[in-house]
Amino acid sequence: MEKAVKDAVKIGYRHIDTAQAYQNEKGVGKGVRNSGIDRKEIFVTTKLAAEIKSYRDGVQSIDSSLETMGLDYIDMMIIHSPKPWKAFLEDNNFAEGNIEAWKALEEAYKAGKLRAIGVSNFEKNDIQNILDSCTVKPMVNQILAHITNTPTALIQFCKENEILVEAYSPIGHGELLKNQEVATMADKYKVSVPQLGIRYALELGLLPLPKTANPEHMKINADVDFEISGEDMKTLKNLDKIKDYGEASVFPVYAKE
């Protein structure tokens, strides 16, 4: 992980996304500290574990991430999920627990431990629950968004509330690589499928978060200086939705789709 971060920074990346659940915060912290560039130039995001649904646990968990990463501050911390992963498909919305976890983030933000705070995998009602009680609005909602899966209503709601939408898995956890219609469109623009997926998110005003530890893929993913026509964007938005995310289907966010 340390090498992946240092490779990414060398190529030109400045936003590193991790999470408590990924169990790689220590390596990310080392990579950032040993990157060879000013700490202020790197934007580090981590995520409060989905199971943290109390103020006390939130406070302890935030401090734990700071200690694990060896950083004086974290650029952004977000609630990983509105529900604990084991309860992700259940009806309970954990409204009170999310308010408590958000209070811990707000406190750390006001103390300067965190420079920005947000949420992830939150639907409209989950976000409204926070908006109704917060003193600091969520700045980001990180969601699954890619060609064939564009939650337009949720994206619009976030934009109306000045919440930046970050799109993780802009290549559909690799499943878009198997889609012939997407491949044909990528050929039209003389780009790779990952490049098309990343550009698609950018055209929608989203911040795409491609995932790779391969330096060559990092370079390719960053080379998206082209535009997709309005007609082709409409075509991509209306392609049949991915029904099977392969090995990723075991994860709740993909199972839900």
Taking residue 119's Cβ as centre, other Cβ atoms within 10 Å add up to 27
22 a catalytic residue: yes
| Amino acid letter for position 103 | K
- What are the residue ranges of helices labelled H in the chain? 2-11, 25-33, 55-69, 95-110, 124-131, 152-160, 180-189, 193-203, 215-222, 230-237, 252-256
Angle (CA) 226-230-232 rounded to 5° is 80
Tell me which residue of 170, 139, 23 sits closest to 131, measured CA to CA: 139
| Amino acid letter for position 127 | I
Of 13, 22, 55, 189, which is the active-site residue? 22
Residues recognised as catalytic: 22
